[in-house]
Structure 1
């Protein structure tokens, strides 16, 4: 499979019900980063021969993103409403091949930048709460 550019990675939010999601693309997107991390437990002992030993423990994920503000867009409005009301969203990052990383998240920051002589932009971090699942397209 050839390499792909990031332009086709799309963030979507569920604007329907959890049981019957309606995936709405957030307009104006420019960048997105899916962060995946695992904490670890230090299990180093005198039997480790002077080497660190660790075990994976709790996983976590987040999505950092930014884009151009499109105020009347349903996806952008869902982010705005969730931030203002301190709500958890269902979100997904869709890849060019149609693979989907899906989970529940809340916004930990959501600044608006409105420079005098340039486009108005948003950025934010969606902090995952609970599992991140990956659905692959056959």
Structure 2
């Protein structure tokens, strides 16, 4: 069993040249996978509700420090202002890790607040909602670069 430190897991966005760029200043990223259920309860279920799995969805949230000299936050702002989806990728484990996992998909930015407190560094938060299905790849040689080449 190989445990992974959260500090080693990064969120990437894809620029106009199809190059993955790590989102700068990250301090945290969360990925949520969800599924709806469909109620199929009938009179023969002995008083118990029964359900089927329905549609799946995914979302992410991330936060960090603003770095004025980097490229990822302008890409995110442009995606938000243009109301266009942006490709994102999260990789857990190194590209040679046979137990590594890569999550990727296109998403819309639904919230992008910035904080400018007098006694703190400038920070951002980011909420992303999946616009496409989430691709989950497991195993070695699944790097950020090789995902987009397939």
Superposed CA RMSD? 1.2
2:82 to 85, 91, 96: 85
Q: Answer whether contact 1:15 1:78 (CA < 8 A) is retained.
A: yes
Contact 1:25/1:75 (CA < 8 Å) preserved in 2? yes
Tell me, in whole angstroms, the C-alpha distance in 1 between the residues paired with 2:128 and 2:52. 27
Please point out which of 119, 122, 126 is paired with 2:121.
119
- The partner residue of 1:72 within 53, 69, 73 is 69
Of 55-64 and 128-137, the range deviating more from structure 2? 128-137
Q: Structure 2 unaligned segments of length 5 or more: list them.
A: 96-100, 141-150
- Look up the match of 2:14: 14
Structure 1 residues 88-108: Cα deviation after superposition (integer angstroms, max 9, x where no partner)? 101111112442100010100
Does residue 104 of structure 1 match 2:118? no
Q: How far apart are residue 12 of structure 1 and its match?
A: 0.4
Residue segments in structure 1 that go unaligned for 5+ positions in a row: none
Number of residue pairs matched by the alignment = 135
Residues 114 and 124 in structure 2, CA contact (< 8 A), matched pair in contact too:
yes
Q: Which runs of 4+ in 1 moved over 3 A?
A: none
Which whole-Å deviations, capped at 9, do the CAs of 1:74-128 have from their partners, x for residues lacking one? 1121111111221110111111244210001010000000100101100011100
User: What SS does the aligned partner of 2:28 have?
Assistant: strand
TM norm structure 2? 0.85
Question: Counterpart of 1:137?
Answer: 139
> Could you state the TM-score of these two structures normalised by the residue count of structure 1?
0.92
